[in-house]
Structure formats: structure tokens, C-alpha cells
Amino acid sequence: MATSIDKFQEQGGRLKTDDLDFDLFRAQPLDPSVLRCLSYMHDIEYQTVLYAREMLMLPQWKDPQFTAFITLWNYEEYWHGQALGRVLQAHDWPAHDERLTEMRRFNKRYLFWSPAIFWLLGHGVRKFPAVHMTWGAINEWTANAAYNRLARIADHPVLTELLGRIMRQEGRHAAYYASHARDLLEPDRTAQKVTKWFLQHEWAPVGNGDVPKIETSFATAYLFGSGEGLELIDRVEDRIDALPGLAGLNLVRSAIQQSVRHVVAEEGFVPAVPARADERRDDRDNDSDNDSDSDSDEAVTAGR
């Protein structure tokens, strides 16, 4: 059963950061590889407003529940970008408008045409809502796994708390997408076949095309190319397999392998993560297993 927008509204809102000590990053700075991943995440979170513009080209704009979700999702993701930008600024790395202006200049041709592309997809491809909701669920699952992994790699008290708060909101986003995807796929073999085709031929890690491809590849390879990162992706693959008609795609694992090859070809190697990140897994409340593996009400309230 699809997640209720009422629960989503009750638990949504601006990310709380006023009690976090961002100045600690100057005394205890993050590793450059971690900051590079955070830069990528900052850009993607801020890009949500443009994803929302595309989604409103779909016929689903007629559904008040859908537009309510888009509004809340966009609002929360904006504040995620703001918070990540503060981390970058504390390290004197580019953030906020400085990064976004260049990003939109880089991708201006696609951004000009993307609303028309989504209008055509929404009105010309039968069952495209199932594709869209499934795609969104996969992107949210992988994003949450990325935050989980980065928090363990960085092992920084302020970053761990910040990413945990982001993960809790992202978990609700994932639960909404996944529950609606399941409802659309379950009774409809055509929707399953169309969705499977799009995932096999068009899906790539979120951000591909929005930022330089090497930045998407670096974050993907660094976070998921080894150790616990591979285990987190196994969980994402299990969730994809559990969606009706989508078992056996091996979607994310294949993308990680391609990303590793790309980084090695362009930069010579993928930096090793600190050994401590893979030494022990603790059962934190914001572990991604608790946040996005169900379309039940519990998935909405879990800390992801």
C-alpha cells in the first residue's frame, strides 16, 4: 500500500543544523576524498529543484498527492544542499551559488530541453509513472547507502550527526517512492516490462550528466568499490530484486564496476578508504537497513 502523504507531511520540514558545530571542521578537517564526495552530493541535492521541474511535466501533476510529495521532497533536499555547503565552506571549498552556477552552465543544453523530454516520455510512453517511481526509489536507496558509507569513512562527529539527520529524511523519500513503485508494478506485467527495459538501457547513478561524469564515477567507486560499500550495495540490489518483475538486473553492481574502470582510466587509481571503515559495523539508528527496505508505515518513521 502506498505511503500516506499525511505521514510524510507530519514528519517533513527543514533540516535542523543550528546545534551543529561546523567550526569543528576547521580544527578537524575532512580528507580531500571525502570532501570530493561531499561536493558531488552537494551538487545533486541542490539539483532537486530542476528534477522537480521535470517531474511536473508528467501527467501525474494532476494528482494532488504527487505534487504534495514533490513540494516537500524538493524543500527538504534544498536544505540538505545548504548543510553540505556549510561543510565545504568550512574547508574553504567552493559551495552554494559558486558551484551551482558553473554546474548549470556545464549542463545548459540538457537543462534547456529536459522539460520537453519528460513531457514526451510522460505522454508518449505507457506506464511511465511506474518507471519514474522505481527510478526514484533506486536513486534514494543508493543515495542513502552513500551517506551511510561516507559517515563511516570520515568518522567525524559533526559529519556523522549531520549525515544521520539527512538519512532520516532521505529514508522517508525512499519509502514513498518504493511503495508507489510497488503498487504500480504489482498488478501490471506491462509496467514491469517497460520499467525493466528503461532500467537496463537508461539507468545510471544519480548525477550522471548533471555533473562531470568523472565526479559521479569517483564518488561511486570510492564509496562502493570495496569493503562494506559492496555489502551496502548488495542490500540495494536485494531491494530492487524484491520489486515485482525486476529480479536479477544487477543494476548497481554493474554501474560500480564501470565507475571503478573509469576512475582508474582517468586518474590511475581509486583512493583506498581508511581501514577502520570496514573493521566493525555498529547498529546505528540511521543504518540504511532500517530506513528504506519496506513500504510500510515503519519505513516512513525509521531513521535513515
User: How many domains does the chain contain in total?
Assistant: 1
Q: Which amino acid is at 54?
A: E
pTM (whole model) above 0.75 = yes
Decide if 42 is inside a domain.
Answer: yes
Segments forming the whole domain that contains residue 43 = 25-301
Residue 138 contacts residue 240 (beta carbons within 8 Å): yes
258 vs 270: CA distance, rounded Å: 12
Residue 138 contacts residue 203 (beta carbons within 8 Å): yes
Region 153-162 average pLDDT: 97
Q: What is the pLDDT of residues 200-236, one digit of tens each?
A: 999 999 988 788 999 999 999 999 999 999 999 999 9
Q: What is the pLDDT of residues 243-261, one digit of tens each?
A: 999 999 999 999 999 999 9
Q: pLDDT confidence of 296, banded at 50, 70, 90?
A: very low
| pLDDT given at position 28 | 97
Decide if 96 is inside a domain.
Answer: yes
Q: What is the CATH number of the domain that holds 291?
A: 1.10.620
Decide if 3 is inside a domain.
Answer: no
Residue 235 contacts residue 289 (beta carbons within 8 Å): yes
